[in-house]
Structure 1
Amino acid sequence: MQTKLLTLAFIEIALAIIISVIILFISFKILQRVFFKDISLREDNMAFSIFAAGIILSIGIILSEIIPSITNIVRLSMTQEHKILWVEIIQYSTLYLFIGFLFSLVINTSVFLLFSALTKGVNEFKDIQQNNIASAIIVTATLVSITLIAKDSISLLISALIPYPETANFML
Protein backbone atom coordinates (compact mmCIF):
# COMPACT_ATOMS: atom_id res chain seq x y z
CA MET A 1 0.00 0.00 0.00
CA GLN A 2 1.29 3.46 -0.87
CA THR A 3 0.87 5.53 2.25
CA LYS A 4 1.92 8.76 0.53
CA LEU A 5 -0.79 8.33 -2.10
CA LEU A 6 -3.35 7.38 0.54
CA THR A 7 -2.44 10.43 2.61
CA LEU A 8 -2.72 12.62 -0.46
CA ALA A 9 -6.16 11.19 -1.27
CA PHE A 10 -7.43 11.90 2.25
CA ILE A 11 -6.04 15.44 2.14
CA GLU A 12 -7.75 16.06 -1.21
CA ILE A 13 -11.08 14.69 0.02
CA ALA A 14 -10.90 16.78 3.20
CA LEU A 15 -9.96 19.92 1.26
CA ALA A 16 -12.77 19.44 -1.25
CA ILE A 17 -15.40 18.91 1.43
CA ILE A 18 -14.25 21.70 3.74
CA ILE A 19 -13.78 24.29 1.00
CA SER A 20 -17.08 23.40 -0.67
CA VAL A 21 -19.11 23.59 2.53
CA ILE A 22 -17.57 26.91 3.56
CA ILE A 23 -17.95 28.54 0.14
CA LEU A 24 -21.53 27.33 -0.35
CA PHE A 25 -22.53 28.46 3.15
CA ILE A 26 -21.02 31.92 2.68
CA SER A 27 -22.54 32.26 -0.80
CA PHE A 28 -26.00 31.32 0.41
CA LYS A 29 -25.80 33.77 3.30
CA ILE A 30 -24.68 36.56 0.94
CA LEU A 31 -27.51 35.69 -1.47
CA GLN A 32 -30.04 35.75 1.31
CA ARG A 33 -28.80 39.00 2.89
CA VAL A 34 -28.22 40.98 -0.28
CA PHE A 35 -31.17 39.93 -2.42
CA PHE A 36 -33.78 38.31 -0.23
CA LYS A 37 -33.62 39.74 3.29
CA ASP A 38 -37.19 38.89 4.25
CA ILE A 39 -37.44 35.41 2.75
CA SER A 40 -36.29 32.14 4.27
CA LEU A 41 -36.39 28.55 3.13
CA ARG A 42 -38.91 27.80 5.87
CA GLU A 43 -41.57 29.89 4.19
CA ASP A 44 -43.71 28.59 1.36
CA ASN A 45 -41.78 30.37 -1.37
CA MET A 46 -40.91 27.63 -3.83
CA ALA A 47 -39.59 30.22 -6.32
CA PHE A 48 -36.89 31.34 -3.87
CA SER A 49 -35.96 27.72 -3.18
CA ILE A 50 -35.60 27.01 -6.91
CA PHE A 51 -33.54 30.16 -7.41
CA ALA A 52 -31.32 29.44 -4.39
CA ALA A 53 -30.80 25.88 -5.64
CA GLY A 54 -29.72 27.27 -9.02
CA ILE A 55 -27.22 29.64 -7.42
CA ILE A 56 -25.82 26.82 -5.28
CA LEU A 57 -25.61 24.52 -8.31
CA SER A 58 -23.83 27.24 -10.30
CA ILE A 59 -21.30 27.80 -7.54
CA GLY A 60 -20.85 24.04 -7.17
CA ILE A 61 -20.10 23.70 -10.88
CA ILE A 62 -17.49 26.45 -10.67
CA LEU A 63 -16.00 24.92 -7.50
CA SER A 64 -15.76 21.57 -9.26
CA GLU A 65 -13.39 23.26 -11.71
CA ILE A 66 -11.34 25.01 -8.99
CA ILE A 67 -10.89 22.26 -6.39
CA PRO A 68 -8.76 20.05 -8.71
CA SER A 69 -6.34 22.95 -9.20
CA ILE A 70 -6.01 23.36 -5.44
CA THR A 71 -5.40 19.65 -5.00
CA ASN A 72 -2.83 19.76 -7.82
CA ILE A 73 -0.84 22.28 -5.79
CA VAL A 74 -0.99 19.96 -2.78
CA ARG A 75 0.20 17.09 -5.01
CA LEU A 76 3.04 19.18 -6.34
CA SER A 77 4.08 20.12 -2.82
CA MET A 78 4.21 16.45 -1.81
CA THR A 79 5.85 15.01 -4.91
CA GLN A 80 8.33 17.57 -6.21
CA GLU A 81 11.86 18.03 -5.00
CA HIS A 82 11.23 21.79 -4.87
CA LYS A 83 8.68 21.85 -2.08
CA ILE A 84 5.83 24.32 -2.15
CA LEU A 85 5.29 25.79 1.30
CA TRP A 86 1.87 25.61 2.99
CA VAL A 87 1.77 29.40 2.97
CA GLU A 88 2.09 29.31 -0.82
CA ILE A 89 -0.61 26.64 -1.05
CA ILE A 90 -2.95 28.83 0.97
CA GLN A 91 -2.08 31.86 -1.18
CA TYR A 92 -2.75 30.01 -4.43
CA SER A 93 -5.93 28.47 -3.04
CA THR A 94 -7.19 31.87 -1.94
CA LEU A 95 -6.42 33.30 -5.37
CA TYR A 96 -8.24 30.45 -7.13
CA LEU A 97 -11.27 30.73 -4.86
CA PHE A 98 -11.33 34.51 -5.32
CA ILE A 99 -11.28 34.08 -9.10
CA GLY A 100 -14.09 31.51 -8.84
CA PHE A 101 -16.13 33.82 -6.61
CA LEU A 102 -15.53 36.69 -9.01
CA PHE A 103 -16.71 34.61 -11.95
CA SER A 104 -19.76 33.50 -9.97
CA LEU A 105 -20.65 37.15 -9.43
CA VAL A 106 -20.06 37.93 -13.11
CA ILE A 107 -22.23 35.01 -14.24
CA ASN A 108 -25.04 35.83 -11.80
CA THR A 109 -24.95 39.52 -12.70
CA SER A 110 -24.89 38.79 -16.42
CA VAL A 111 -27.95 36.54 -16.09
CA PHE A 112 -29.91 39.30 -14.38
CA LEU A 113 -28.74 41.90 -16.88
CA LEU A 114 -29.69 39.55 -19.71
CA PHE A 115 -33.16 39.06 -18.25
CA SER A 116 -33.59 42.75 -17.57
CA ALA A 117 -32.74 43.49 -21.19
CA LEU A 118 -34.96 40.73 -22.58
CA THR A 119 -37.98 41.24 -20.35
CA LYS A 120 -38.68 44.95 -20.17
CA GLY A 121 -41.10 45.78 -17.39
CA VAL A 122 -40.58 42.50 -15.51
CA ASN A 123 -38.68 42.52 -12.22
CA GLU A 124 -37.31 39.02 -11.71
CA PHE A 125 -36.33 39.67 -8.08
CA LYS A 126 -39.82 40.82 -7.26
CA ASP A 127 -41.35 37.87 -9.14
CA ILE A 128 -39.22 35.42 -7.19
CA GLN A 129 -40.08 37.17 -3.92
CA GLN A 130 -43.77 36.86 -4.87
CA ASN A 131 -43.34 33.12 -5.47
CA ASN A 132 -43.50 33.22 -9.28
CA ILE A 133 -42.13 29.74 -9.98
CA ALA A 134 -42.01 30.26 -13.75
CA SER A 135 -39.62 33.21 -13.40
CA ALA A 136 -37.46 31.30 -10.95
CA ILE A 137 -37.16 28.29 -13.27
CA ILE A 138 -36.28 30.39 -16.32
CA VAL A 139 -33.71 32.49 -14.44
CA THR A 140 -32.21 29.39 -12.81
CA ALA A 141 -32.01 27.44 -16.07
CA THR A 142 -30.26 30.36 -17.75
CA LEU A 143 -27.87 30.71 -14.82
CA VAL A 144 -26.93 27.03 -14.87
CA SER A 145 -26.59 27.04 -18.68
CA ILE A 146 -24.21 29.99 -18.70
CA THR A 147 -22.22 28.41 -15.87
CA LEU A 148 -21.90 25.14 -17.79
CA ILE A 149 -20.74 27.03 -20.88
CA ALA A 150 -18.18 29.11 -18.95
CA LYS A 151 -16.82 26.41 -16.62
CA ASP A 152 -14.16 25.07 -18.98
CA SER A 153 -12.77 28.56 -19.58
CA ILE A 154 -12.62 29.17 -15.83
CA SER A 155 -10.83 25.85 -15.40
CA LEU A 156 -8.29 26.76 -18.09
CA LEU A 157 -7.63 30.13 -16.44
CA ILE A 158 -7.09 28.51 -13.04
CA SER A 159 -4.88 25.76 -14.53
CA ALA A 160 -2.68 28.39 -16.15
CA LEU A 161 -1.94 29.79 -12.67
CA ILE A 162 -0.70 26.49 -11.18
CA PRO A 163 3.02 26.77 -10.37
CA TYR A 164 4.21 23.72 -12.29
CA PRO A 165 7.97 23.14 -12.15
CA GLU A 166 10.07 24.38 -15.04
CA THR A 167 11.11 21.74 -17.51
CA ALA A 168 14.20 21.78 -19.65
CA ASN A 169 13.75 22.07 -23.38
CA PHE A 170 15.54 18.92 -24.45
CA MET A 171 14.64 19.39 -28.13
CA LEU A 172 17.16 22.22 -28.62
Structure 2
Amino acid sequence: MQTKLLTLAFIEIVLAIVVSVLILFISFKILQSVFFKNISFREDNMAFSVFAAGIILSIGMILGEIIPSITNMIRLSMSGENEIMLGEIIQYSGLYLGIGFIFALLINTSVFLLFSALTKGVNEFKDIQQNNVASAVIVTATLLSITLIAKDSISLLISALIPYPETTNFLL
Protein backbone atom coordinates (compact mmCIF):
# COMPACT_ATOMS: atom_id res chain seq x y z
CA MET A 1 0.00 0.00 0.00
CA GLN A 2 1.28 3.47 -0.85
CA THR A 3 1.01 5.43 2.37
CA LYS A 4 1.97 8.76 0.77
CA LEU A 5 -0.80 8.44 -1.78
CA LEU A 6 -3.29 7.37 0.88
CA THR A 7 -2.27 10.29 3.10
CA LEU A 8 -2.61 12.69 0.19
CA ALA A 9 -6.05 11.31 -0.64
CA PHE A 10 -7.24 11.85 2.93
CA ILE A 11 -5.76 15.36 2.99
CA GLU A 12 -7.53 16.18 -0.27
CA ILE A 13 -10.88 14.85 0.99
CA VAL A 14 -10.67 16.75 4.28
CA LEU A 15 -9.44 19.90 2.55
CA ALA A 16 -12.22 19.78 -0.04
CA ILE A 17 -14.94 19.26 2.55
CA VAL A 18 -13.71 21.84 5.05
CA VAL A 19 -12.91 24.53 2.50
CA SER A 20 -16.08 24.06 0.48
CA VAL A 21 -18.36 24.10 3.53
CA LEU A 22 -16.64 27.18 4.90
CA ILE A 23 -16.65 29.11 1.61
CA LEU A 24 -20.25 28.17 0.79
CA PHE A 25 -21.41 29.13 4.28
CA ILE A 26 -19.69 32.52 4.08
CA SER A 27 -20.98 33.12 0.55
CA PHE A 28 -24.55 32.26 1.47
CA LYS A 29 -24.47 34.51 4.53
CA ILE A 30 -23.10 37.39 2.44
CA LEU A 31 -25.75 36.79 -0.22
CA GLN A 32 -28.51 36.71 2.34
CA SER A 33 -27.33 39.72 4.35
CA VAL A 34 -26.51 41.98 1.40
CA PHE A 35 -29.28 41.21 -1.07
CA PHE A 36 -32.06 39.34 0.69
CA LYS A 37 -32.24 40.44 4.33
CA ASN A 38 -35.85 39.51 4.97
CA ILE A 39 -36.10 36.25 3.03
CA SER A 40 -35.40 32.75 4.26
CA PHE A 41 -35.96 29.23 3.03
CA ARG A 42 -38.78 28.76 5.50
CA GLU A 43 -40.93 31.18 3.62
CA ASP A 44 -42.63 29.97 0.49
CA ASN A 45 -40.22 31.65 -1.94
CA MET A 46 -39.16 29.21 -4.63
CA ALA A 47 -37.48 32.01 -6.61
CA PHE A 48 -35.00 32.72 -3.82
CA SER A 49 -34.28 29.01 -3.44
CA VAL A 50 -33.56 28.65 -7.17
CA PHE A 51 -31.37 31.74 -7.17
CA ALA A 52 -29.44 30.72 -4.03
CA ALA A 53 -28.93 27.22 -5.44
CA GLY A 54 -27.50 28.71 -8.63
CA ILE A 55 -25.03 30.86 -6.72
CA ILE A 56 -23.98 27.93 -4.55
CA LEU A 57 -23.51 25.76 -7.63
CA SER A 58 -21.50 28.51 -9.34
CA ILE A 59 -19.19 28.86 -6.35
CA GLY A 60 -18.89 25.06 -6.15
CA MET A 61 -17.80 24.86 -9.79
CA ILE A 62 -15.12 27.47 -9.20
CA LEU A 63 -13.94 25.73 -6.01
CA GLY A 64 -13.81 22.48 -7.95
CA GLU A 65 -11.14 24.07 -10.13
CA ILE A 66 -9.14 25.46 -7.19
CA ILE A 67 -8.91 22.48 -4.82
CA PRO A 68 -6.78 20.38 -7.26
CA SER A 69 -4.22 23.20 -7.42
CA ILE A 70 -3.94 23.20 -3.64
CA THR A 71 -3.48 19.43 -3.57
CA ASN A 72 -0.86 19.69 -6.34
CA MET A 73 1.10 21.98 -4.09
CA ILE A 74 0.75 19.53 -1.20
CA ARG A 75 1.98 16.76 -3.53
CA LEU A 76 5.00 18.86 -4.40
CA SER A 77 5.76 19.38 -0.74
CA MET A 78 5.50 15.63 -0.07
CA SER A 79 7.74 14.68 -2.99
CA GLY A 80 10.88 15.68 -1.14
CA GLU A 81 12.40 17.41 -4.16
CA ASN A 82 10.75 20.74 -3.51
CA GLU A 83 10.80 22.14 -0.01
CA ILE A 84 7.45 23.84 0.48
CA MET A 85 6.75 24.57 4.12
CA LEU A 86 3.34 24.41 5.77
CA GLY A 87 3.23 28.20 6.06
CA GLU A 88 3.76 28.55 2.31
CA ILE A 89 1.04 25.99 1.60
CA ILE A 90 -1.37 27.97 3.77
CA GLN A 91 -0.37 31.25 2.09
CA TYR A 92 -0.78 29.86 -1.42
CA SER A 93 -4.06 28.17 -0.49
CA GLY A 94 -5.38 31.44 0.87
CA LEU A 95 -4.27 33.20 -2.29
CA TYR A 96 -5.94 30.60 -4.52
CA LEU A 97 -9.17 30.67 -2.53
CA GLY A 98 -9.12 34.47 -2.46
CA ILE A 99 -8.72 34.60 -6.24
CA GLY A 100 -11.56 32.09 -6.65
CA PHE A 101 -13.79 34.07 -4.30
CA ILE A 102 -13.04 37.32 -6.15
CA PHE A 103 -13.85 35.68 -9.48
CA ALA A 104 -17.08 34.29 -8.05
CA LEU A 105 -18.03 37.81 -6.96
CA LEU A 106 -17.04 39.20 -10.37
CA ILE A 107 -19.11 36.59 -12.18
CA ASN A 108 -22.13 37.22 -9.96
CA THR A 109 -21.79 40.97 -10.33
CA SER A 110 -21.37 40.75 -14.10
CA VAL A 111 -24.57 38.69 -14.38
CA PHE A 112 -26.51 41.28 -12.41
CA LEU A 113 -25.06 44.12 -14.48
CA LEU A 114 -25.81 42.20 -17.68
CA PHE A 115 -29.43 41.73 -16.66
CA SER A 116 -29.77 45.32 -15.55
CA ALA A 117 -28.52 46.44 -18.97
CA LEU A 118 -30.70 43.99 -20.90
CA THR A 119 -33.91 44.44 -18.95
CA LYS A 120 -34.33 48.14 -18.35
CA GLY A 121 -37.09 48.87 -15.88
CA VAL A 122 -37.05 45.37 -14.38
CA ASN A 123 -35.54 44.86 -10.95
CA GLU A 124 -34.45 41.22 -10.76
CA PHE A 125 -33.77 41.38 -7.03
CA LYS A 126 -37.27 42.65 -6.35
CA ASP A 127 -38.73 40.01 -8.69
CA ILE A 128 -36.88 37.26 -6.84
CA GLN A 129 -37.99 38.69 -3.50
CA GLN A 130 -41.57 38.64 -4.78
CA ASN A 131 -41.23 34.96 -5.76
CA ASN A 132 -40.97 35.45 -9.53
CA VAL A 133 -39.53 32.05 -10.40
CA ALA A 134 -39.11 32.91 -14.08
CA SER A 135 -36.69 35.75 -13.25
CA ALA A 136 -34.77 33.52 -10.85
CA VAL A 137 -34.42 30.74 -13.42
CA ILE A 138 -33.18 33.08 -16.16
CA VAL A 139 -30.70 34.85 -13.87
CA THR A 140 -29.47 31.53 -12.48
CA ALA A 141 -29.07 29.95 -15.93
CA THR A 142 -27.04 32.95 -17.07
CA LEU A 143 -24.93 32.80 -13.93
CA LEU A 144 -24.19 29.10 -14.43
CA SER A 145 -23.43 29.60 -18.14
CA ILE A 146 -20.89 32.32 -17.45
CA THR A 147 -19.36 30.23 -14.67
CA LEU A 148 -19.00 27.23 -16.99
CA ILE A 149 -17.30 29.40 -19.58
CA ALA A 150 -14.94 31.11 -17.11
CA LYS A 151 -13.99 28.22 -14.82
CA ASP A 152 -11.27 26.77 -17.06
CA SER A 153 -9.60 30.18 -17.33
CA ILE A 154 -9.70 30.53 -13.54
CA SER A 155 -8.14 27.07 -13.24
CA LEU A 156 -5.37 28.04 -15.65
CA LEU A 157 -4.64 31.20 -13.69
CA ILE A 158 -4.43 29.27 -10.42
CA SER A 159 -2.24 26.58 -12.02
CA ALA A 160 0.18 29.26 -13.20
CA LEU A 161 0.67 30.34 -9.57
CA ILE A 162 1.70 26.90 -8.28
CA PRO A 163 5.36 27.01 -7.16
CA TYR A 164 6.67 24.21 -9.35
CA PRO A 165 10.39 23.46 -9.02
CA GLU A 166 12.73 25.05 -11.52
CA THR A 167 13.79 22.75 -14.34
CA THR A 168 16.68 23.08 -16.70
CA ASN A 169 16.40 22.95 -20.43
CA PHE A 170 18.55 19.93 -21.22
CA LEU A 171 18.08 20.33 -24.96
CA LEU A 172 20.23 23.48 -25.13
Same fold (TM over 0.5): yes
- Name stretches of at least 5 consecutive residues in structure 2 with no aligned partner: none
Q: Which residue of structure 2 aligns with residue 162 of structure 1? A: 162
The two structures have a TM-score, normalised by structure 2, of 0.99
The 2-side partners of 1:121 and 1:89 are apart by 48
- Name stretches of at least 5 consecutive residues in structure 1 with no aligned partner: none
The 2-side partners of 1:69 and 1:134 are apart by 37
The 2-side partners of 1:162 and 1:51 are apart by 33
What's the CA shift for 1:80?
Answer: 3.1
Over residues 103-145 of structure 1, what are the superposed CA-to-partner deviations in whole Å (9 max), with x where a residue is unaligned? 0010000000000000000000000000000000000000000
Q: Which residue of structure 2 aligns with residue 26 of structure 1? A: 26
The 1-side partners of 2:63 and 2:39 are apart by 26
Q: Which residue of structure 1 aligns with residue 68 of structure 2? A: 68
The 1-side partners of 2:120 and 2:8 are apart by 52
What's the CA shift for 1:4?
Answer: 1.1
The 2-side partners of 1:80 and 1:68 are apart by 19
- Tell me which stretches of 4 or more aligned residues in structure 1 moved more than 2 Å: none
1:86 aligns with 2:86: yes
Q: Which residue of structure 2 aligns with residue 148 of structure 1? A: 148
The 1-side partners of 2:38 and 2:80 are apart by 51
The 1-side partners of 2:155 and 2:85 are apart by 23
1:128 aligns with 2:166: no
The 1-side partners of 2:143 and 2:22 are apart by 21
